[in-house]
Amino acid sequence: MKIRILRQQEPDSQAYWEAFDYDGTTDISVAGLLDHLNYNDDIINDAGRKTTRIGWDCSCMQGMCGACAMVINETPALACETFLYNLKTREITIRPLRKFPVIHDLIVDRTLIQENLKITDVYIGKYNPKENEDHRHQYEAAKCLKCGLCLEVCPNYTNGESFYGAMYANDCYLVYARNKEKSADMKNTYSAHFGNSCSKSLSCVDICPMNIPSLASMAKLYRK
Amino acid sequence: MKEVLIIGSGISGLTCAVRCAGLGMHATLISPVSSERAQSVMAAGGINAVTAECEEGDSVACHIEDTLKGGGMIAGRNAVTGLCGHAEEIIHFLEGTGTVFTVDDNGRPVVRAFGGQSHKRTHYCGSSTGKQIVSALIMEARRFEGEGLIDRKLRMYFHSALIKDGECYGAILYDEKSRSLLPVFADAVVIASGGQNALFGKTTGTTLCDGYAAGKLFLQGAELKNLEFIQYHPTTLETAQKRMLISEAVRGEGGRLFYEDNGKRIYFMEDIYGPKGNLMTRDVVSREIDRIGKDVFLDISFLDKKLIDKKIPEVRDLCMKYRGIDISKEPIPVSPSVHFFMGGLAVHLNHETNIRNLYAAGECASMYHGANRLGGNSLLAAIYSGNTAADDISGRVKENGHPDFSRTLKEEQDSLNGLLSSKSSFSVMHIRDMLSDTMRKNMSIVRSGITLKEGMDDIDYYLSVADQIHFDSSESIYTNYSLPAILTLARAAVTCALSRHESRGSHYRSDYPETKDDLAYATLISYDNGAYTTRPDKEKIYEN
Ligand SMILES: Cc1cc2nc3c(=O)[nH]c(=O)nc-3n(C[C@H](O)[C@H](O)[C@H](O)COP(=O)(O)OP(=O)(O)OC[C@H]3O[C@@H](n4cnc5c(N)ncnc54)[C@H](O)[C@@H]3O)c2cc1C
Ligand code: SF4
Q: What is the DSSP string of A35-66?
A: HHHHHSSS-B-TTS-B-PPPP---SSSSSSS-
What is the 8-class DSSP label of residue A194?
Answer: I
Structural domain of B406: 402-522
pLDDT the model gives residue B311? 84
CATH code for the domain of B514: 1.20.58.100
For the segment B209-230, the average pLDDT, to the nearest whole number, is 98
Interface of A with B in 176-205 (CB under 8 A): 178-179
Q: Is A34 on the interface with B (CB under 8 A)?
A: no
Predicted TM-score (pTM) above 0.95: yes
Amino acid at B242: K
B421 and B516 housed in the same domain: yes
- Calculate the CA dihedral of residues A125, A69, B210, B251 and round it to 10 degrees: 70
A74-83 tens-digit pLDDT: 999 999 999 9
Closest-CA residue of chain A to B10: A65
**Residue B331: inside a domain:** yes
- Verify whether the Cβ–Cβ distance B42 to A67 is below 8 Å: no
> Does the pLDDT of residue B426 top 80, yes or no?
no
Rg (CA), chain A: 19
Closest-CA residue of chain B to A107: B33
What is the whole-number distance in angstroms between the Cα of residue A220 and the centre of ligand 2?
18
Q: Is B31 on the interface with A (CB under 8 A)?
A: no
> Does the pLDDT of residue B468 top 80, yes or no?
no
Closest-CA residue of chain B to A118: B142
Q: Among candidates A161, A6, A9, which has minimal Cα distance to A70?
A: A6
**Residue B456: inside a domain:** yes
B407 and B329 housed in the same domain: no
- Calculate the CA dihedral of residues B231, B233, B234, B240 and round it to 10 degrees: -130
B438-464 tens-digit pLDDT: 999 999 999 999 999 999 999 999 999
CATH code for the domain of B271: 3.90.700.10
**Residue B464: inside a domain:** yes
Among A41, A60, A83, the residue to mutate for chain B (most B Cβ within 10 A): A60
Q: What is the mean pLDDT of chain B?
A: 94
**Residue B468: inside a domain:** yes
Residues of B in contact with A25 (CB under 8 A): 240
What is the whole-number distance in angstroms between the Cα of residue B431 and the centre of ligand 1?
24
> Does the pLDDT of residue B366 top 90, yes or no?
yes
More confident residue, B202 or B333: B333
> Does the pLDDT of residue B472 top 80, yes or no?
no
**Residue B469: inside a domain:** yes
> Does the pLDDT of residue B425 top 60, yes or no?
no
Largest CA distance in chain B: 74
CA distance B53 to B360: 31
Reduced to 3 states (helix: H, G, I; strand: E, B; else coil), residue A179 is strand
B317 and B244 housed in the same domain: yes
Q: How far is B20 from chain A (nearest CA, A)?
A: 16
Beta bridge partners of B512: B509
For the segment A63-83, the average pLDDT, to the nearest whole number, is 97
pLDDT the model gives residue B193? 98
Check the CA dihedral A98-A104-A105-A108 and report its sign: negative
Which one is catalytic: B251, B256, B282, B509? B282
For the segment A40-69, the average pLDDT, to the nearest whole number, is 92
A112-129 tens-digit pLDDT: 999 999 999 999 999 999
Q: How far is B179 from chain A (nearest CA, A)?
A: 11
**Residue B49: inside a domain:** no
Q: Is B254 exposed, middle or buried (0-12, 13-18, 19+ CB in 10 A)?
A: middle
ipTM: 0.97
pLDDT band at residue B474 using 50, 70 and 90 as cut-offs: confident
Domains of chain A: 2-108 (3.10.20.30), 111-223 (1.10.1060.10)
For the segment B245-251, the average pLDDT, to the nearest whole number, is 89
Which residue has the CA at smallest separation from atom 8 of ligand 2? A147
B416 and B515 housed in the same domain: yes
Contacts (Cβ under 8 Å, ≥6 apart) of B40: B10, B11, B12, B130, B133, B134, B194, B379, B382
- Verify whether the Cβ–Cβ distance B34 to A178 is below 8 Å: no
| A170 CB near ligand 2 (under 6 Å) | yes
Cα-flanking dihedrals φ and ψ of residue B484, to 5°?
A: -60, -40
Q: How far is B37 from chain A (nearest CA, A)?
A: 5
B426 and B513 housed in the same domain: yes
Q: How far is B504 from chain A (nearest CA, A)?
A: 30
pLDDT the model gives residue B115? 80
Q: Is B236 on the interface with A (CB under 8 A)?
A: no
Q: At what angle do helices A111-119 and A166-178 cross, to 10 degrees?
A: 40
Interface of B with A in 93-132 (CB under 8 A): 95-98, 100, 103, 125-126, 128, 131-132
What percent of chain B is predicted at pLDDT more than 90?
85
**Residue B209: inside a domain:** no
Domain boundary among B305, B337, B369: B337
What total number of domains does chain B contain? 2
B426 and B323 housed in the same domain: no
Domain boundary among B311, B337, B363: B337
For the segment B94-105, the average pLDDT, to the nearest whole number, is 94
Amino acid at B262: N
- The ligand placed nearest to the CA atom of residue B137 is 1
| A34 CB near ligand 2 (under 6 Å) | no
Q: Is B325 on the interface with A (CB under 8 A)?
A: no
For the segment B492-506, the average pLDDT, to the nearest whole number, is 98
Residues of A in contact with B39 (CB under 8 A): 59-60
Among B9, B142, B246, the residue to mutate for chain A (most A Cβ within 10 A): B142
Reduced to 3 states (helix: H, G, I; strand: E, B; else coil), residue B541 is coil
Domain boundary among B308, B337, B366: B337
B127-151 tens-digit pLDDT: 899 999 999 999 999 999 999 999 9
Q: Is A23 exposed, middle or buried (0-12, 13-18, 19+ CB in 10 A)?
A: exposed
What percent of chain A is predicted at pLDDT more than 70?
99
- Verify whether the Cβ–Cβ distance B95 to A143 is below 8 Å: no
Active site residue B282: yes
Interface of B with A in 180-219 (CB under 8 A): 202, 205-208
pLDDT the model gives residue B424? 62
Residues of A in contact with B132 (CB under 8 A): 139, 142-143
Rg (CA), chain B: 23
Q: Atom of ligand 2 at shortest distance to CA of A149?
A: 3
| B208 CB near ligand 1 (under 6 Å) | yes
